[in-house]
Chain A
């Protein structure tokens, strides 16, 4: 630990003690605060509350599937469970996970700014997040039952079902608006608020990935907004735009839905890639390999990611030419992702690796993302897709990317940055054990889905043939291991943040700006912004030392 670098110097009051408004303490000093760090924490705790709810739903889904036929819930409840699991995980956990929590907290510090450019819009976006989340909760509680359409709200079923689709649509719409406001704020902040010496290519790669993400948020989200509005209008007024009974085209709905929702996948994964690009140099004590390639590959992913949506619909009815083009661009899109993976591995080469928990989670990310990415290519191949469409192979694929990738990215971020945010260190040994249990549980849970999906197990089915049971049992046992690991991980972090040892200014030896400010940071982050001439990953002193000791 680099605690020695900071002797018993007297700490100033941090953002945890000083509010931006007239309320000195208490809940109002938080929910009315426009400080980007406090807003980051507001997002963090509200997001975690939703995460626990959605994990519980996922646990119940897995428990139901442990045996064929009815086990604990009926088919209708099962449909509602996987719908809510999807809506909450996607709109309330994975999308805001890294940008709204850690991006809000660290992006301004990493570029040497005192706050984001529109602090009040930042707070507004959190309020919209909460209101959207409340609509999701309302949809569960109102009579009629929560939506049972799946998170994709496919028409015509979403127009016909009597469940509370409307509150769920409103929830997704408001959450989309919140996401747009965050994106708009981040783009403008990165353009306008960087420290004068921080040129574009001195920005940390996490900031680059947030920049690419923010553009997708701004440019893709309005499409889902208008599409969900139309489904709502369809339900209330019966306009007929997507209803085949009135001449509408349900496949057009699918196109519009995926025009947003495929790029949204990159809203989820890009910040996690940026985070891994932060963690690997720090724990390998190496300058990042191929900085510009990683930065530009984020932009390339954002660009090509907007042109592949129809690969979700290969069996829905499309011309052969369209299928060919969308499949081809899907393959092109794998190139920038692969560039990142190769660069991370090259960064570690000849580094002195320090396997602390953030690094371990980053390793899980790379392996699981590689599996998820590769199976994504299999699904993007036209002939294979016909066999695998709507099987649990697809479920395994996107959980490997979304949970094995982004979810583990969020865990990595928590282990990397929570000591900075709260000023205390968690127990490293327990965290390492929790990482091992979570990783094992995760893979036992999802890997069998690849096999049974390949053998023909359809996704979203409540019941199944007996020959699939061994895989389902394995998967359900995996979910128990995973949840045990998650409980250990969260307890350890919680205890650490409340009672752990003081973390010091730079516990991991990072070189980006957030490690050069006080722990926890002061209200406006800096008195004087430190020197940023060297760039974000300058480990030349370590590298030189290593050369010398050879």
Chain B
């Protein structure tokens, strides 16, 4: 490779294994980011057991369950889109990505109604009704909004990733022989799913 050539000659290094490795490292950082919140949850759950118990009963388990099913299924369709790409079925791969995005919207719409109902009942950070409640319940709902909020932000980022992937498939930058970006986006999506798998029992199921 000649480096005396003035044009853009910078060496393009393709290493799919390395790309996946970088993505896994990034996923570690995400896990630890949420890990900080899980520590805080554990500490306050320990110090305010009864109030967490009471506050948790105000969440709607059915909506939580629907969202869990939506995310788990979307993880499956994301994984299937990789297999479809590997097998050269680009059209089907794209359809599966759209289905994944569709499930993400189901999740977010549910979340919107859930948060909306809470806010309608006067339960949001800083509200009079919430501040009138015992400290443990203030903490519970504070954590509820922060943790599910941060998670929903990750859902949105995941959707943005998939929209980029769809564009790159159309531009032929992602093909059956080079699809590591699709794999990495799906890895990210599985992380979003995984974190929800922990949030769901912590907030909705443990009473």
| Chain A interface residues (CB < 8 Å from chain B) | 12-13, 18-22, 24, 34-35, 114-115, 117-119, 121, 180, 183-185, 187-188, 191-193, 218-223, 225-227, 229-230, 233, 237-241, 246-249, 252, 256, 259, 522-524
Contacts and interface: CB of A to CB of B under 8 A. Distances in A.
Nearest to A118: B22
B11 to A, nearest CB: 5
B146 A218 contact: no
The 3 closest A-B pairs by CB, nearest first: A247-B135, A239-B142, A226-B36
Given A223-B36, A247-B135, A252-B43, A18 B3 contact: yes
B36 A227 contact: yes
B48 interface: yes
A192 B21 contact: yes
Contacts of B17: 192
B88 interface: no
Interface string B128-156: 00010011101100110110001000000
Contacts of A191: 18, 21
Given A12-B3, A13-B3, A114-B11, 5 more contacts: A20-B8, A35-B10, A247-B138, A256-B39, A524-B1
Nearest to B144: A239
A333 B6 CA distance: 50
Given A114-B11, A240-B139, A524-B3, A188 B21 contact: yes
Contacts, number: 129
Contact of A184 (B3, B15, B26): B26
Interface stretch (B27-35, B74-82, B107-115, B167-175): B27-35
B125 A225 contact: no
Given A219-B28, A239-B142, A524-B11, A225 B33 contact: yes
A218 B29 contact: yes
B125 A13 contact: no
A8 B135 CA distance: 77
A222 B36 contact: yes
Contact of A247 (B9, B18, B33, B139): B139
A247 B48 contact: yes
Given A117-B15, A226-B37, A524-B11, A241 B6 contact: no
Nearest to A244: B135
A256 B126 CA distance: 24
A221 B35 CA distance: 12
B120 interface: no
Contact of A523 (B10, B18, B28, B39): B10
B33 A222 contact: yes
B48 A12 contact: no
B30 A115 contact: no
B125 A238 contact: yes
Contacts of A240: 125, 135, 138-139, 142
B120 to A, nearest CB: 17
B11 A115 contact: yes
A380 to B, nearest CB: 24
B54 to A, nearest CB: 14
A118 to B, nearest CB: 6
Contact of B18 (A119, A188, A226, A230): A188
20 contacts: A12-B4, A20-B10, A114-B11, A114-B13, A117-B15, A119-B10, A183-B25, A185-B22, A192-B21, A218-B28, A237-B126, A238-B126, A240-B139, A247-B136, A247-B139, A249-B43, A252-B43, A256-B39, A256-B40, A523-B3
A40 to B, nearest CB: 15
A240 B135 CA distance: 9
A22 B7 contact: yes
Nearest to A114: B11
B186 to A, nearest CB: 19
A192 B138 CA distance: 48
Contacts of A35: 10
Contacts of A19: 6
Nearest to B5: A18
Nearest to B17: A192
Contacts of A227: 36
A239 B3 contact: no
Interface string B47-70: 110000000000000000000000
A227 B44 CA distance: 15
Contacts of B34: 226
Given A241-B142, A524-B1, A188 B22 contact: yes
A248 B26 CA distance: 30
Contacts of B25: 183-184, 187-188, 218
A246 B57 CA distance: 21
Contacts of B7: 22
B28 A226 contact: no
A239 B145 contact: yes
B15 A222 contact: no
